[in-house]
Amino acid sequence: MNEILQALVKRRSIRRFTSEKVTREQIETILEAGRFAPSGKNSQPWRFIVVESDERRAELAKLVPQKGMVAAAPVTLAVLLDHDAGYDELKDAQGIGAAIENILLAVHALGLGACWMGVARDEAIETLVEAREGEELMAIIPIGHPAESPTGSPRRPLPEIVRFI
């Protein structure tokens, strides 16, 4: 099967990480994937904050429901929506989703693991990551070397979710 198609099917959320670091080069590759996502009017309303210092990661872990996952990940991305760059709340959010999926696929392609966490619109985290005026938290993505290989993640069969007309 084509590598991209295989990655789409094989990618899984990874919630447990080893202590091995993620390199700066890997982080840049992942961010490039996010940067090339499609967005309405090509507005590119996403902003990415790389939370990598031990101190900030520990503080961030205290502010999320799944503390262990964020504490263990050597790096966590905060994905923000810059409302000054965007033009339509719904379409901006859709573009952010596309960027996050690109990021997840790049992580997978590098043999790393990540989990899209729906931690959003959280003022305490926005302050911690030094979000600027007009920027709103949309998600956080802990990234690291996988310490698990989840397989079960069932999907609804096509006939249940598709209609041909």
Ligand X SMILES: Cc1cc2nc3c(=O)[nH]c(=O)nc-3n(C[C@H](O)[C@H](O)[C@H](O)COP(=O)(O)O)c2cc1C
Which residues make up the interface to ligand X (CB under 6 A)? 12-13, 15, 66, 115-118, 153
Residue 24 CB, nearest approach to ligand X (Å): 26
Q: What is the DSSP secondary structure assignment for residue 19, as one 8-state letter?
A: S
Q: Which residue is nearest to ligand X (CB)?
A: 118
Among residues 2 and 153, whose Cβ is nearest to ligand X?
153
Cα(15)–Cα(9) distance, rounded to whole angstroms?
A: 18
3-state SS assignment for residue 160: helix
CB closer to ligand X, 12 vs 145: 12
Q: Closer CB to ligand X, residue 111 or residue 118?
A: 118
User: At its nearest, how many Å lie between ligand X and the CB of residue 164?
Assistant: 25
- Alpha carbon separation from 124 to 38, 117, 137, 154 (Å, rounded): 29, 16, 10, 34
Q: Which is nearer to ligand X, 48 or 116 (CB)?
A: 116
| CA–CA dist 164, 75 (Å, integer) | 43
d(CA 91, CA 53): 32
Q: How far is the CB of 12 from ligand X (least distance, A)?
A: 4
Nearer to ligand X, 6 or 23 (CB): 6
Residue 154 Cβ vs ligand X, minimum distance, rounded to whole Å? 9
C-alpha 128/C-alpha 42 separation (Å) is 29
* Most distant CA pair in the chain, distance: 55
Minimum Å distance from CB 68 to ligand X?
A: 11
